[in-house]
A and B are shown apart, each in its own frame.
Chain A
Amino acid sequence: MHSIERRLTVGLGAVFSGLVLAGALALYLSMRDVLHDQFDAGLRVKALVVITATEQQGGKIDVDFSDRFLREFDDDVATAFFQVWQVGGPSVERSDSLRRRELPQRFGTMKKPAFWNLRLPSRDRAGRAIGIKFRPRFDEDDEGSGRAAVDAVVVVAAERGDLDELLRQVGGFLGAGGFALLLAAWLAVRVVLRPGLRPLRRLADQAASIDARNLGQRFPEADVPAELQPICERLNALLGRLETSFQRERRFSADLAHELLTPLAELRTLEESAVKWPDTAGPEMFRETLDITLRMEALVLRLLELARAEHGRLAVTLAPVELGTLLREIWSAHESRTREKSLEITFNGPQSSPLQSDAVVLRVIAGNLIANAVEYTPAGGAVRVDWWVTAAGAQFGFEVTNPAPQLSESDVTQLFDRFWRKDAARTGTQHSGLGLAVAREFARALGGELEAKLRADGVLALRFACAGKGSRASPV
């Protein structure tokens, strides 16, 4: 599993390691160059001493050098060596420290001498050498004699053991310092990262503690780092939607249980009574049990309809429909109830309103809307049914409006919930509370949408609008 803390620690550690390594290497190399330069400068001085002591006399090279000047050339010290050659000629002089051994002959000019590392002839130690080709000064007697000048080559070598040891020490110091720095950097990264990532860890812990039982929890939006604030806001919004959805599902389950358990209790009580007191069993009881059974059957069928519509498996068959006629027909089924409640009904729409749709599905949608209006409009109230069809039936819809003084704005958001009814007691046995949920799913099956709006004057408007022949349902 990827951990941000681990990745940051590794990333920052790698960067720090690279920087420390590069810094230490650069420091080591620059120190080595400085020390080499200093060593080379010392070699050059020694070479100049030898050059100064060299003169030509009568076409011959003479080196007037004494080991007393520089003790390292002496046989008993033997940490430095020199040898002088006449160019193209033999060796003319060498230090006592060389004894009879030879130095390799390589050279540059006075301005740009040749430097190189070598194994010293004495005791086979590591050393460094300088080689210069030069023109020895003339002896006082030969000066101005017009004699042809000869050139000489001097090679001076010295032990570099001390230099190498110093460089080793510097390297060791830089290595140890770099390692200590890396360790300190790693600790610093941990110390800085841990508290920095704490809000993220808290967020993760809180998210892990949320399950279906405590969806009411919310992430803190104040006192969190700015980077986490939008995440908390989004998560809270998501939790809010999830909680609402869970509440609806729980309510649906509880409502479904209630809808089924009550008729079951009715049946059981009737039958147990008949067993306990056989004289209670008779046509009346059987009629009652039949009513209850039919009610349960209707409920189950409605639930099946709803389930099929919700899963897009509602069969839709398009055929010519006369919308105005259809709405009036549906209303006619409620005429007696309308008269009982003295409701006033108004129809508004084009006389001719042909379109292509599924009459059966439309009947369910409109039937539920109209039945809802008849049931819940207070006695003496006015119900209005409007419909419209655009040219060639491309778009059509209808709207049922009725006074709904018992509804509040918050009720409207639940109108399409399965089993939702304003009266939690579900007193009426004719209405299961599934009608509007079914109507909305059927509306969607036709490619339309059913919406509810509570106007300021307390009038509820249920509006179905459809874009003509479109439908999302598939035949079954």
Chain B
Amino acid sequence: MRVLYVEDSASLRRSVAEALRRSGYAVDVAEDGEEGAALALAEPYDVVVLDLMLPKLDGLALLHRLRAASKTTPVLMLTARTAVSDRVAGLNGGADDYLGKPFALEELLARVQALVRRRYGQTVATIELGPLRIDTVAKWVGCRGRAVDLKPREYALLEYLALRREAVVTRSEIEAHIYDDLANPMSNVVDSAICILRRKLTDAGVPPVIHTRRGWGYCLTLHDVCTPSSAD
């Protein structure tokens, strides 16, 4: 899942982005409102974590700009301004959630995860597909009770495919949602990652669930019948 974090505090930007990355998210950061707005409008983020008081363009204005452009990306407001009026203004302005500073890192990660789930219509934290079980909170994948050892990026890829199960997901969509802006768009990183993921799942006894739809992309399903779709 790809997250944009807009924050003017360099320390927070660094530590929260690192925490998100370690939790399996592809993270882009922006240090002011203008940069954040440009990224949020250009890239298909799954969640935007947004500070309210930002240089150049404040968080609320950024949010208005985002919603005015019909971007439905879930937005988590993260700010030291926690008065009721501020929270109401943020939520009425189109924010999906509001978290006051200082915050517990676990709570931030849980809220981001909840927003991701909501974005893909998933109400529970566990996705089950035949014998395959994905716990999106514990970031754990297993087959018939046996854990499948996946690296964070591999897990993120599987989770993204699972959230959009039964639908064809294009390579560019995978690139956009799993890899941050440091990834080289010309590389075959997606194909390689799919290949590794398939092998690990097969080794763990999972039946073939990732199907290639030539000319389209990939589809996670127990049956090899998928329809092309787009999440954003």
A residues engaging B (CB < 8 A)?
254, 257-258, 261-262, 264-270, 272-273, 276-277, 280, 288, 291-292, 423-427, 429
Contacts and interface: CB of A to CB of B under 8 A. Distances in A.
Contacts of A423: 55
A231 B204 CA distance: 85
Interface in B124-170: none
Nearest to A264: B102
Interface of B: 8-12, 14-16, 18-19, 22, 31-33, 51, 53-56, 58, 80-83, 100-106
Contacts of A292: 11
A424 B58 contact: yes
Given A425-B53, A425-B54, A272 B81 contact: no
Given A264-B102, A425-B53, A276 B11 contact: no
B104 A258 contact: no
A129 B31 CA distance: 120
Contacts of B53: 258, 424-426
13 contacts: A258-B81, A261-B80, A261-B101, A264-B102, A265-B102, A268-B102, A272-B105, A276-B19, A276-B105, A280-B15, A280-B18, A288-B14, A425-B51
B105 A261 contact: no
Contacts of B56: 425
A265 B53 CA distance: 14
B15 A270 contact: yes
A265 B19 CA distance: 14
B105 A254 contact: no
A234 to B, nearest CB: 31
Nearest to A267: B102
Contacts of A425: 8, 32-33, 51, 53-56, 58
A269 B19 contact: yes
Contacts of A270: 11, 15
A267 B53 CA distance: 19
Contacts of B11: 266, 269-270, 288, 291-292
A276 B105 CA distance: 9
B101 A273 contact: no
A269 B8 contact: no
B9 A262 contact: yes
Contact of A268 (B54, B81, B82, B103): B103
Nearest to A285: B15
A427 B15 contact: no
Contact of B18 (A257, A261, A264, A273): A273
B63 to A, nearest CB: 15
Contact of A265 (B10, B18, B101, B106): B101
A3 B123 CA distance: 66
Contacts of A291: 11
A266 B9 contact: yes
A143 B151 CA distance: 167
A46 B115 CA distance: 123
Contact of B102 (A261, A277, A429): A261
Contacts of A424: 53, 58
A254 B58 CA distance: 16
Contacts of B104: 268, 272
Contacts of B83: 254
A49 B54 CA distance: 122
A424 B59 CA distance: 11
A272 B80 contact: no
Contact of A427 (B18, B22, B55, B105): B55
Contact of B15 (A258, A262, A264, A266): A266
Residue of A266, A270, A276, A429 most packed against chain B (CB within 10 A): A266
A387 B32 CA distance: 39
A280 B55 CA distance: 28
A217 B8 CA distance: 37
Contacts of A426: 8, 53
Given A266-B9, A424-B58, A425-B8, 19 more contacts: A258-B53, A262-B9, A262-B101, A265-B101, A265-B102, A265-B103, A266-B11, A268-B104, A269-B11, A269-B12, A269-B15, A273-B105, A276-B19, A276-B105, A280-B15, A423-B55, A425-B33, A425-B56, A425-B58
A262 B9 CA distance: 8
A292 B10 CA distance: 11
Given A258-B53, A272-B105, A273-B105, A266 B12 contact: yes
A273 B12 contact: no
B44 to A, nearest CB: 26
Contacts of B100: 261
Given A292-B11, A427-B8, A269 B58 contact: no
Contact of B80 (A262, A268, A277, A288): A262
Contacts of B102: 261, 264-265, 267-269
Contacts of A427: 8, 31-32, 54-55
